[in-house]
Structure 1
């Protein structure tokens, strides 16, 4: 009889304890949800600054770019060789600043985990052709394009893929140096679109390669050649988000090849955290 009484008492205590535990857990869950919403609000507010910055910078840059394109086309009248050289310099640096503002905004969205892929059917050869055509207007380094063959289509975010490709070719332009030639080749192998960006320029030293995906890591005074590093970081993350990868092959003094491999399947739609290092074939 006593054992039965104790069993009932212990059962009552256990039920009361589970009820208290449920209340505690429910309260903690409510607090966690509130904290999560507060953190989301902080992130959204932090994102407003780069968005405003990007808008305020891109608007005047678009006007400058439009004016330089009209000058280069000879709309107001013919330019002397010296004048054309100055206008091309303005156009080149305007394009660099426009791309930098877009890259900074994309990188801020990725860091805040607020950026997802807006997928649609993308024809890879057409995307590459448009990007190379645009870049040819803003650099004096020749860019050769090998882009013949059957259509290559995948589901992806065309704006982000274009930005990643622009950054890859622009990186080659910066590292190649004067007198070099950039070549861009598009092919398909094993259900994978392969975009190869190659230059026959100076190549990269071991230290250059180690800093390739590390923003703002160039020594003072070297940013003119190496850039901020944001472009390659964003390119790496965007390609990874599409289930792809970047392969780097470079020899100091002999040029660099960057292979971008994009699967034609359907990877996840959220951008992952950055990879620690570049891959090597």
Structure 2
């Protein structure tokens, strides 16, 4: 009996040692993974900076030329500079999206919530988007309640999410189309609708939503990162994002955000 008891004690000690060793190994692997993700985020950050800096300088030079420095431009030169400006803006936006996505995957993308009036955020984003929509002869409307309780949210991230949705709507709405933004109070928080009357999506395109580089359109029309980032932002706030779409019948994105604590 003494031998058996001793064996039991030894066996139990071995199991404790094995469990501790396994936990230490998992901890070391987790720390190594965190370091790898941090390095990747740092690399993407550095790459984005290296790309954004020359592109920003090019945009600055284009702006000076379009303002008439050093002299007036021909119509052809004006058109060429407009193309350069648009392409620079698109690539700079892609750099920003790649950086945000890298931070998401590294676990470094965290909201800093405060009391926010979603109606105010919606007005600011719609106002900022009006010039782009005007260039495409698109009409953008906003419907918000007169009084809306504030919710706990990160205003910068919320602005990013709504800007992504409106940019997406403008990109896939025809020239002369309509984009409607509506903010509503619901039982558990605030709902935000973004509706366009564009081409809509097929069922196959709908299933590919919220995946990187899956837009259902040529890559030149977008990378799909905007919707991935928007979904992440909404979920970090404890909310949900849904989409209703049909081919040739337009698309509606619905964001729901809880009141928060």
- Above 0.5 in TM-score? yes
Q: 2:232 aligned to 227, 237, 244, which one?
A: 237
Which of 63-72 and 21-30 deviates more?
A: 63-72
1:112 deviation in Å? 2.8
Alpha-carbon distance change, 33 to 250 in structure 1, aligned in 2, over 3 angstroms: closer
Residue of structure 1 in register with 2:99 after alignment: 105
Residue of structure 1 in register with 2:258 after alignment: 263
Gaps of 5+ in 1: 1-5, 267-281
Aligned length: 257
Q: 1:163 aligned to 146, 160, 168, which one?
A: 160
Alpha-carbon distance change, 70 to 40 in structure 1, aligned in 2, over 3 angstroms: same
SS at match of 2:213: coil
Residue 186 (structure 2) pairs with residue 178 (structure 1): no
Alpha-carbon distance change, 189 to 107 in structure 1, aligned in 2, over 3 angstroms: same
Contact kept, 8 Å, 1:204 with 1:250, in 2: the verdict is yes
1:231 deviation in Å? 1.0
1:187 deviation in Å? 2.2
Alpha-carbon distance change, 109 to 181 in structure 1, aligned in 2, over 3 angstroms: same
Residue 119 (structure 2) pairs with residue 125 (structure 1): yes
The whole-number CA distance in structure 2 between the counterparts of 1:217 and 1:111 is 18
SS at match of 1:176: coil
Contact kept, 8 Å, 1:193 with 1:262, in 2: the verdict is yes
SS at match of 2:190: strand
1:1-281 to structure 2, matched below 5 A, reads 6=1, 8-64=2-58, 89-139=83-133, 140-141=135-136, 142=138, 143-147=140-144, 149-217=146-214, 222-225=218-221, 227-266=222-261
Contact kept, 8 Å, 1:215 with 1:229, in 2: the verdict is yes
1:148 deviation in Å? 5.1
Gaps of 5+ in 2: none
The whole-number CA distance in structure 1 between the counterparts of 2:141 and 2:118 is 17
Residue of structure 2 in register with 1:269 after alignment: none
SS at match of 2:177: coil
The whole-number CA distance in structure 1 between the counterparts of 2:87 and 2:145 is 31
Structure with bigger gyration radius: 1
The whole-number CA distance in structure 2 between the counterparts of 1:152 and 1:61 is 41
Contact kept, 8 Å, 2:209 with 2:215, in 1: the verdict is no
Alpha-carbon distance change, 246 to 26 in structure 1, aligned in 2, over 3 angstroms: closer
1:209 deviation in Å? 2.0
Alpha-carbon distance change, 45 to 197 in structure 1, aligned in 2, over 3 angstroms: same
1:245 deviation in Å? 1.6
SS at match of 1:14: helix
TM-score, length-normalised on structure 2?
0.82
1:184 deviation in Å? 1.5
The whole-number CA distance in structure 2 between the counterparts of 1:247 and 1:179 is 26
1:169 deviation in Å? 0.8
Which of 240-249 and 81-90 deviates more?
A: 81-90
Alpha-carbon distance change, 38 to 232 in structure 1, aligned in 2, over 3 angstroms: same
The whole-number CA distance in structure 2 between the counterparts of 1:263 and 1:179 is 35
